Amino acid sequence: MLKLPVYLDNNATTPMDPRVLEAMLPYFTTHFGNAASRNHPFGWEAEEAVDLAREQVAKLIGADPKEIIFTSGATEADNLAIKGVFEMYATKGNHIITATTEHKAVLDTCRHIEKLGGEVTYLEVNAEGLINLKELEAAIKPTTILIAIMYANNEIGTIQPVREISAIAKKHGVLFFSDAVQAVGKVPVDVNKDGIDLMAFTAHKMYGPKGVGALYVRRKNPRVKVTAQIDGGGHERAMRSGTLNVPGIVGFGKACELCMQEMESDTKRISRMRDKLETELLKLEEAYVNGSKEHRLPHVTNISFKYVEGEGLMMGFNKNIALSSGSACTSASLEPSYVLKALGLGDDLAHSSLRFGLGRFTDEEQIDYTIEQVSNTVLKLREMSPLWEMWKEGIDLDKIEWAAH
């Protein structure tokens, strides 16, 4: 039985796994203690639950539990990593290297650093969304303190060459921070094998609750320190004060445990469905995959359908399929995605793109329905498009000079 609407926006958030909710429930009611209350059983119980979750979270990424700092989510973790390193290592330097396709939580934090007098280099990416390692190395200077490159991109799913990046960072004595929100729980991430010094990730992208995330901070070779951005009480090894969100942390731990057990089988099933979806949709004329087909997450495909507006396309099946388009709706204008523009896409292709993010609860029937709905809507909109008609007649649209109103 087909379940509508179809949810294919798992890069934005994932539905919570019922097993995660089950683990969390007692900590809202009977086990409601504050994990910092050290004088009675209610506090001890909460502390014990947090300790277990810290172990579950650490295990998923190959870290030591003491290296996990719980936060309100990945945005806070990104801020803590970048601002925290900038303050802590101010005597060493003030230069940070990042990429133009990073998440806004990284880019906006870097802009903030620039206002404080820091220097930031923004690396361009190639047509597949990958940075150039030679350019990365060439950008390093004596004042460089941090390289901030995401593990996998949220819009196109491209996975960066993390181990090569970390080797370059290590060679020059620079810390390497990675926003790994889209990767953790979906592909094997190991902070030691990958050589990552700081890493942000979050529960709600891996079937856990919203409002809880973590920053991994390396303790050995090198021992990394960050200056707290939230003060008061010295929780989380004095890196992040505030009463711990015990139910959320318990859910995060359970979500990580389930990802460890099921990642391999999930990946096989989900990537097979993703490939089927992609293959069928690419049968449409002038349809293109954005990003790398070789180095990418198993559950994502981003496809542009030329001569069709992504927003219009979504309206065609909006009530029944939840997707994200390459036009970011801001209050003032319909801006094409900065990530797609960074790949070198023109406004037309960027505007005509759809991001499909599959997940643990996506089924075959939903994929068949999506193929049918998207294909039909593309064809219908193109029939109404004068540009499509001109293209079919062999007119080179790039050479046309449009009259201004």
Residue 93 is encoded by which pair of tokens? 């330097």
Cα distances (angstroms) measured from residue 192 to each of 54, 186, 251: 17, 18, 25
Set 110, 256, 259, 329: catalytic member: 329
**Residue 142, preceding bond cis, omega within 30 degrees?**
no
pLDDT of residue 391: 85
Give the residue among 144, 246, 242, 258 at the shortest CA–CA distance from 208.
258
pLDDT of residue 185: 98
How many Å from the N-terminal Cα to the C-terminal Cα in the chain?
51
Q: Using CA atoms, how far apart are residues 401 and 405, in angstroms rounded to an integer?
A: 13
Listed as ranges, residues in the chain with pLDDT below 50 are 330-332
Q: Residues 6 or more apart from 20 whose CB is under 8 A from it?
A: 207, 208, 209, 251, 254, 255, 258
pLDDT of residue 327: 64
- The full set of domains in the chain, from first to last, is 6-11+263-392 (3.90.1150.10), 18-259 (3.40.640.10)
pLDDT of residue 385: 85
Q: In what order do the strands lie in the sheet with 300-305?
A: 287-289, 300-305, 353-357, 324-325
Residue 110 is a catalytic residue:
no
| Count of Cβ atoms closer than 10 Å to residue 190 Cβ | 13
pLDDT of residue 330: 45
pLDDT of residue 332: 47
Give the residue among 180, 182, 187, 156 at the shortest CA–CA distance from 166.
180
pLDDT of residue 405: 57
pLDDT of residue 335: 79
